[in-house]
Structure 1
Amino acid sequence: MTEVACDIYQAVFTVDENVRFLNAIRGIADACGTHIILFDADRLAGRTHVEAALRHARRSWAGGEAIANSIEMEALLYAAGTRQCQVAASFGIHPGENRSYIAVCPPAPGVRDRLAGLVTFVDGDWDGIDPAKRARLSDLFAITPEEVAVVGEARFRDLVLERVALLDVYR
Structure 2
Amino acid sequence: MEVFECTLSIDDLDAFVAELGDVGDRHGVTIQAFDARYVADRAHLERSVELADRAIARGENIARDRAVEILLYAAGRRQIDRALEMGVGEGETRAVILIDDGSGGTEGGPSEAETAARNGLADLDAVVATEPTLEFEGRGEETLCAFFDVTDAERAATDASLAELVGERVALLEVEK
Question: TM-score, with normalisation over the residues of structure 2?
Answer: 0.84
Matches within 5 A, 1:12-161: 12-106=7-101, 107=111, 108=113, 110-118=116-124, 119-120=127-128, 122-124=130-132, 126-127=134-135, 133-152=140-159, 155-161=161-167
C-alpha separation in 2, matches of 1:163 and 1:66:
17
What whole-Å deviation, never above 9, does each CA across 1:82-107 have from its counterpart, x for those lacking one? 00100111111111112221121114
Consecutive unaligned residues of structure 2, counting only runs of 5 or more, are 102-110
Consecutive unaligned residues of structure 1, counting only runs of 5 or more, are 1-5
Query: Does the CA-based 8 Å contact 1:46-1:128 persist in structure 2?
Result: no
Query: Does the CA-based 8 Å contact 1:39-1:50 persist in structure 2?
Result: no
Cα deviation, residue 29, structure 1: 1.0
Cα deviation, residue 121, structure 1: 5.8
Give the direction of change, closer, same or farther, for the CA distance of 1:84–1:129 in structure 2 (3 Å limit): farther
Query: Does the CA-based 8 Å contact 2:5-2:133 persist in structure 1?
Result: no
C-alpha separation in 2, matches of 1:139 and 1:129:
19
Cα deviation, residue 16, structure 1: 0.9
Cα deviation, residue 68, structure 1: 0.7
C-alpha separation in 2, matches of 1:113 and 1:145:
41
The alignment partner of 2:97 has SS state of: strand
Partner of 1:168: 174
Cα deviation, residue 7, structure 1: 1.4
C-alpha separation in 2, matches of 1:120 and 1:46:
22
Cα deviation, residue 113, structure 1: 2.4
Cα deviation, residue 125, structure 1: 6.5
Work out the number of aligned pairs and report it.
Answer: 164
Cα deviation, residue 124, structure 1: 3.4
Q: Look up the equivalent residue of 2:175 and give its one-letter code.
A: V
What whole-Å deviation, never above 9, does each CA across 1:21-59 have from its counterpart, x for those lacking one? 000111111111211111211111122211121111111
Q: Look up the equivalent residue of 2:10 and give its one-letter code.
A: V
Question: TM-score, with normalisation over the residues of structure 1?
Answer: 0.87
C-alpha separation in 1, matches of 2:137 and 2:43:
13
Q: Look up the equivalent residue of 1:139 and give its one-letter code.
A: A
